[in-house]
Structure 1
Amino acid sequence: MTAKAVIIGAPRSGSGKTSVTIGLLRALARRGIAVRGAKSGPDYIDPGFHAAATGKDGVNLDSWAMPPGLLSALAGEAAGDSEAVIVESAMGLFDGIPAEPGRSGSAADLAQLFGLPVLVVLDVSGQSQTAAAIAKGFASYDPGVKIAGVILNRLGSERHRRLAGEAIEALGIPVVGAVMRDPTLSLPERHLGLVQAGEHDDIETHIDRLADVMERSIDIDRVLDLMAPFAPIGSDTSAALPPPGQRIALAQDEAFSFVYPHVARHWRKAGAEIVPFSPLADEAPDESCDVCWLPGGYPELHAGRLAAAQNFRSGMQAFAARKPVHGECGGFMALGEGLVDAEGQRHEMLGLLSHATSYAERKMNLGYRRARMKAASALGPSGSAVRGHEFHYSRVIDPGSDEPLAEIADGQGNALGVSGGRRGLVSGTFFHAIARDG
């Protein structure tokens, strides 16, 4: 099977990339095409929608957090069983951080590394011919990034489409789609961004509606013609996060669900078994597992239920007395002594670490992280380094007395101090690990 691929980019977040991508994925799947979605950067929510649209796991391709060999390995896996791959850009197409060439985290890095063309989604609400100036800027900004076409979004009328579209096509840039303004196409949001696919009340109906709109609005045959062959060369998975154990008890429910697809997939490929359990259903980790992992999620929305889950609490305490436990972001919050919800009510958490966190006293923390372990944990041995990402509004209101887990720096190497906590076999931190530093 020979795959072809294209990147869906835009000038900024909120341009409609996700709706266009999801609709195109389902529209191609309807044609019987084996299609898979990918996401540039560290977003772990959109791959869930990609999977819902196609029936195939999504994948993150993050040029800052992943060295080129791992990027090629993951891209090769995505292409290996697909006829088409659609890569959705995070933020704007060229948005990343100052870094060595090809390691900025932007989707433009992927366009250059894999030689993929880009379709730019332009939100033209409030403008018409000016859209051509934006398209021209995209086409000329970086000679190594090929802009193959434009999809106009949020058009108000046929006249609006004609004015914007003709101005862009006069530059020699094809307009392959024109989507009318329709607020019902947007996905619901919450404090960390989009609601996850599994939480959407009627995800199948919504995805089918997006596909209906894209089939009417986009020349899908033209899109297929503009795709480029996608056969990544080289593969090096040495930077992939190794499984923290042979049998991994993984918390999985509405409170704990932020697991990067590539991480769980690599654990399984390395021979590990993932045994899910639900803290919200008052389940404890399987005693036969040799490590427990509490991923990120929204524990602040379910703090009362977690506090009342006595079987979960006692099971976690018994497990942590004998075997390693690690928590990321929301999992880190649940490992602490207490969590204050948005209404200011404090809920007792597991108490396996001594810190306390609050969502009532919010402070946004966002950015890439390079972490060096101060001691051995489920993330790796002492002195090892990982790359990851942090995105949360909750904050530590009581640091507790535990030893810090890691020394961290931002994506440009600026020291940020220590992060997380460790006590005995328990560790946790606010950042999500993506790959080994390399």
Structure 2
Amino acid sequence: MKGFLVASVRSGAGKTTLSLGLMAALARRGLKVAPAKCGPDYIDPAFHAAAARRPGVNLDSWAMTPAQVAGLAAHQAEGADLLVAEGLMGLFDGVGHEPGRTGSSADIAAALGLKVLLVLDVTGQSTSAAAVALGAKLLDPRLTIVGIVLNRVGSERHRRLCTEAVEALGLPVLGALPRETAVELPERHLGLVQAEETDDLRRRLDALGDFVERHVEIGRLIELCGDAETPIATASAPLLSPPGQRIALARDAAFSFVYPHHLAAWRAAGAEILPFSPLADEGPDPTADVCWLPGGYPELHAGAIAAADGFLGGLRAFASAKPVHGECGGYMVLGAGLVDASGIRHAMASLLGLETSYEKRRLHLGYRRARLFSSGPLGPEGAVLSGHEFHYATILTIGSDDPLADVSDAHGGAPGPDGSRRGTVSGSFFHAIARMD
């Protein structure tokens, strides 16, 4: 595999700006770029796909087995000239202590033989940037840092001081990005606004490509990655089996958090995806075998969902005979009610007893391991799944429904019952990433 991984030592240092700009610029040069995102992020891959003009994928060393990571990466890189991966948080940040299975970007780079392009936010420092670069160079002997890109450079003198200090370590500085707010993408409480909601997305990505072209030595970067080609396993490993042959999938601005690898695997297995829009008052196709409500931003559209009689009626009719599963936002919509940020309660589908509130916000974040109590769309009874939870909703009441799974976190906490199931309907706040058993 030939490519590199864009990383930093902390969040907010410029990974996404640099990654999208490089993907757009490389694709514009006629290269076939295979984009990837480290970790459980479900927003960035859509931006990657738009910038690279090829579908994105998630690679996660905690939630996926090494065989699953290798199989996904091999499939993603097939037919591409270069794999460009964007890291998460800081390069070495992860959970647990099992070698190669911490969920860190460093694990992915090491497993796939990808060199690391390190972006350093040099705000408020100059020569001290070299200390950060040196630490990154020495901390993990599995990694090779191909070069440094300085970010938020204030002046030519600032650039020169940082560059001289870093290059004295034997690390090439391949670019210096000036402070520029015009190329920043809009954000909201879960990160970036979704790609399909971003105004003038193509123009924004072209501007990012221009920005990176002006300030990064892209040709030199490609040359330095020229000897980084590493063969990887091509055998695929199962992640999550299709929940049915024909899958009715809610898909619009309120329901969009679906991992690309699930849709690709389901289609590869012969399943048919039947998208519908609850915000357009569409119900699931009654000929489908199963209905899947993914996460998204239902709290921003709660009034419209509550008024969508066609969607809610169609969903209830479907659930009377066939399986329905909701993840995170989809789980909230399956519940009895959702209180929005202004304190107004909106009636939801009432297929589960769950009541949630965004007026009382509390961050829930982290990996999850779940063992299913009964068979359903996620798998058979006893199946073990890895997943991730990231939301601000507060549960007001879970109701009297049975729990979906026995769930634990990545930090050794005792497992406990979580999620809900009632008849053919199930839901949970964790997004399933892969089946582990």
TM-score over 0.5 for the pair? yes
* Post-superposition CA distance 1:189-228 (Å, at most 9, x none): 1111111111101111110110001000000011111222
Amino acid at match of 1:382: E
Matches within 5 A, 1:315-330: 315-330=314-329
Q: Match of 1:76?
A: 74
Decide whether the 8 Å contact of 2:327 with 2:429 is kept in 1: yes
Amino acid at match of 1:133: A
Q: Match of 1:136?
A: 134
Matches within 5 A, 1:7-18: 7-18=5-16
Q: CA deviation at 1:80?
A: 0.5
Decide whether the 8 Å contact of 2:290 with 2:323 is kept in 1: yes
* 147-156 or 229-238, larger mean C-alpha shift: 229-238
Q: Match of 2:233?
A: 233
Matches within 5 A, 1:28-427: 28-227=26-225, 228-238=228-238, 240-427=239-426
Q: CA deviation at 1:184?
A: 2.0
- Distance of 1:109 and 1:120 partners within structure 2: 15
- Distance of 2:254 and 2:339 partners within structure 1: 15
* Post-superposition CA distance 1:145-198 (Å, at most 9, x none): 111110000000000000001100011100001100112222111111111111
* Post-superposition CA distance 1:57-89 (Å, at most 9, x none): 100000000001111110001111210111100
* Structure 1: gaps spanning 5 or more residues: none
Decide whether the 8 Å contact of 2:335 with 2:351 is kept in 1: yes
Decide whether the 8 Å contact of 2:117 with 2:149 is kept in 1: yes
Decide whether the 8 Å contact of 2:174 with 2:220 is kept in 1: yes
Decide whether the 8 Å contact of 2:75 with 2:234 is kept in 1: no
Amino acid at match of 1:295: P
Q: CA deviation at 1:230?
A: 4.6
Q: CA deviation at 1:234?
A: 4.5
Q: CA deviation at 1:233?
A: 2.0
Decide whether the 8 Å contact of 2:72 with 2:236 is kept in 1: no
Q: CA deviation at 1:229?
A: 1.2
- Distance of 1:312 and 1:220 partners within structure 2: 48
Amino acid at match of 1:369: R
Between Structure 1 and Structure 2, how many residues are aligned? 435
- Distance of 1:41 and 1:226 partners within structure 2: 26
Amino acid at match of 1:65: A
TM-score (normalised: structure 1): 0.98
SS at match of 1:415: coil
Task: Choose which of 2, 6, 10 in structure 2 pairs with 1:4.
Answer: 2
Decide whether the 8 Å contact of 1:370 with 1:437 is kept in 2: no
Q: Match of 1:25?
A: 23
Residues 230 and 30 (structure 1), Cα distance of their counterparts in 2 relative to 1, 3 Å cut: farther
- Distance of 1:155 and 1:208 partners within structure 2: 22
Amino acid at match of 1:180: P
- Distance of 1:38 and 1:236 partners within structure 2: 17
Q: CA deviation at 1:427?
A: 0.1
SS at match of 2:285: coil
- Distance of 2:165 and 2:339 partners within structure 1: 53
Residues 237 and 19 (structure 1), Cα distance of their counterparts in 2 relative to 1, 3 Å cut: same
Q: CA deviation at 1:416?
A: 4.2
Q: CA deviation at 1:236?
A: 3.7
Amino acid at match of 1:233: A
SS at match of 1:132: helix
Amino acid at match of 1:39: K
- Distance of 1:430 and 1:93 partners within structure 2: 27
SS at match of 1:166: helix
Decide whether the 8 Å contact of 2:247 with 2:290 is kept in 1: yes
Q: CA deviation at 1:104?
A: 0.3
Tell me the C-alpha RMSD between the 2 structures. 0.9
Decide whether the 8 Å contact of 2:35 with 2:84 is kept in 1: yes
